[in-house]
Amino acid sequence: MSFWAVSRGLTPPGKVAPKLNPNQRQFLEDELRYREKLKMLAGGNAVDDMYVRKQDTVDDPLELDKHDAFYDTTKSLLVLFQIMGVMPIHRNPPIKNLPRTEYSWTSKQVMWAIFTYSCQTTIVVLVLRERVKKFITSPDKRFDEAIYNVIFISLLFTNFLLPVASWRHGPQVAIFKNMWTNYQYKFYKTTGSSIVFPNLYVLTYSLCIFSWLLSIAINLSQYFLQPDFRLWYTFAYYPIIAMLNCFCSLWYINCNAFGTASRALSDALQATIRDGKPAQKLTEYRHLWVDLSHMMQQLGRAYSNMYGMYCLVIFFTSIIATYGSISEIIDHGATYKEVGLFVIVFYCMCLLYIICNEAHYASRKVGLDFQTKLLNINLTAVDSATQKEVDMLLVAINKNPPIMNLDGYANINRELITTNISFMATYLVVLLQFKITEQRRSQTT
């Protein structure tokens, strides 16, 4: 077409730009950036301008401890987990080339965990034997009492899953703790200021105390509401309920810390944008954000089995307790025993709500809120290199979504609450249909 126009003395038509869909446009932009960086690398004189991640270096352990505010403010919960034998990780002395937090099967923390677990298991076995014996030898018991036995027998089995669900993932938990330590020092070296966690020290101490007080209150309430629940049974349930409360507190604290770190990073980024030619600094901020997203994923990976068991216990207990209370109200009317079952359901649903809601807020603060602040930047007031780095940071957020995931088993967000409630409603409808059908048969005969 162009040759025909030139041969006749006419102006050739201009090139028609192809229309690309969003995925094709994203792929083209990524390819252009990659080619540009290859040219800069081939030039040999612009390596400093090529914004790539710097190689990790071995940091001074004393400097790491100096800026590890997260460990200092949450140390009380770590010590409580060590005392209870739930997660026997330990802090190494400040020696170079040695990780600050480590898990070792030969450490004194693991030996103490084995000792406490053995003592606790002895009490659990005695209580389990007693409750199973009563459950089998008393077939004429009321239905709500049988439901109580099923619930509290199932809770006892969580004790036997502790070594598999918690101790086996000790190395992953140590990796997560070291990621927090290294991230805070890297944040300080990049921004010149440390991450501050306001009120986290007091909050952690308060949650440690509250976890045990709530465990004592729940067990004593069941002791007064159930006539066959002896006082010495409570000693088997105190550490189990307290462990569930402490894991909920651990999740809440980490999600809160993720939001604080994301807010500090966005504030530092906005301050850097106002400076002249902040492109290279934005590259380091991009790496900091990716590390923060990876930490959120590592939290779910490290505690995947424990929180997976956590959700299953909540799901099973909520269904059984709700069905037992409704069924007993249909048969004999409302009593104080049904109040105890509703207390169990309310407790389980509160734990699930806290975990899912905090994960939702953490993902939103690290992802959507951070992305919104980037989109509000006036790109016309900065140079082209800064515009490209902002664009690459948006691409990094899009390709590394900050999702709280239990190692591929489930995503922890608000959707999990609605899914859990819908499944519970389905099972309850089916069980109550069987119950009503059985009542009608007994009335006709």
Paired residues of 411 in beta bridges: 405
Report the chain's mean pLDDT, rounded to a whole number. Answer: 81
| Residue 220, Cβ density class (10 Å: 0-12 exposed, 13-18 middle, ≥19 buried) | middle
Amino acid 118: pLDDT: 93
CA neighbor of 311 nearest in space, from 356, 342, 253, 257: 356
DSSP 163: H
Cα gap 399→117, rounded to integer Å = 43
Instruction: Answer yes or no: are the C-beta atoms of 53 and 287 closer than 8 Å.
Output: yes
Which residues are CB-contacts of 49 (< 8 A; sequence separation ≥ 6)? 40, 280, 385
Q: Which of 45-59, 272-286, 331-345 has the lowest mean pLDDT?
A: 45-59
Of 60-69, 331-340, 382-391, which has the strongest mean pLDDT?
60-69
Worst-scoring range by mean pLDDT, 28-42, 121-135, 215-229, 265-279? 28-42
> Residue 45 — very low, low, confident or very high, per pLDDT cuts 50/70/90?
very low
Residue 282 · residue 272 · CB < 8 Å? yes
Q: Give SS3 for 11.
A: coil
pLDDT digits (tens, 9 = 90+) for 116-169: 999 999 999 998 888 888 777 766 566 656 777 778 788 888 888 888 888 888
| Side chain identity, residue 346 | F
pLDDT-wise least confident of 6-10, 157-161, 242-246, 397-401: 6-10
Residue 102, phi then psi, degrees to nearest 5: -145, 160
pLDDT at 257: 92
Cα distance between residue 234 and residue 242, in whole Å: 12
8 Å CB contact between 314 and 347: no
Residue with the bigger pLDDT between 275 and 15: it is 275
Per-residue pLDDT tens for 354-367? 999 999 999 999 88
> Of how many residues is the chain composed?
445
- pLDDT over threshold 50, residue 320: yes
Which whole number is the average pLDDT over 92-107? 86
Tell me the per-residue pLDDT of 130-144, one tens digit each, with 9 for 90 and over. Answer: 888 877 776 656 665
Please name which of 93, 87, 92, 91 lies closest in space to residue 112, comparing C-alpha atoms. 87
Report whether 20 contacts 28 (CB < 8 A).
yes
pLDDT above 90 covers a percentage of the chain that reads 20
Instruction: Give the model's pLDDT for residue 40.
Output: 57
**Predicted local confidence at residue 252, as pLDDT:** 93
Q: What is the Cα 373 distance to its own chain's centre?
A: 24
**pLDDT for 166:** 86
Query: 45-49, 251-255, 423-427 — which is least confidently predicted?
Result: 45-49
Looking at residue 249, what is its pLDDT?
92
| Whether 86 contacts 243, CB under 8 Å | yes
Q: Taking a C-beta distance cutoff of 8 angstroms, is the pair 49, 40 a contact?
A: yes
Q: Phi and psi for 371 in degrees, rounded to 5?
A: -65, -35
Q: How confident is the model at residue 47 (pLDDT cuts 50, 70, 90)?
A: very low
pLDDT recorded at residue 420: 85
Dist. CA 93–CA 102, nearest whole Å? 11
Helix and strand counts by DSSP (H, E) for the chain: 16, 2
Residue with tokens 């509401």: 225
Quick one: which of 170, 146, 158 has its CA closest to 328?
A: 146
C-alpha to C-alpha distance for 94 and 106, rounded to whole angstroms? 20
Calpha distance 207→160 (Å, rounded): 25
- Residue 333 phi/psi, 5-degree rounding, is 85, 175
Share of the chain above pLDDT 70, in %: 82
Q: How many angstroms separate the CA atoms of 231 and 118, rounded?
A: 21
pTM here is 0.81
- Phi, psi at 64, each rounded to 5°: -60, -45
The Cα 20–Cα 39 span in angstroms is 25
d(CA 367, CA 262) in angstroms, rounded, equals: 9
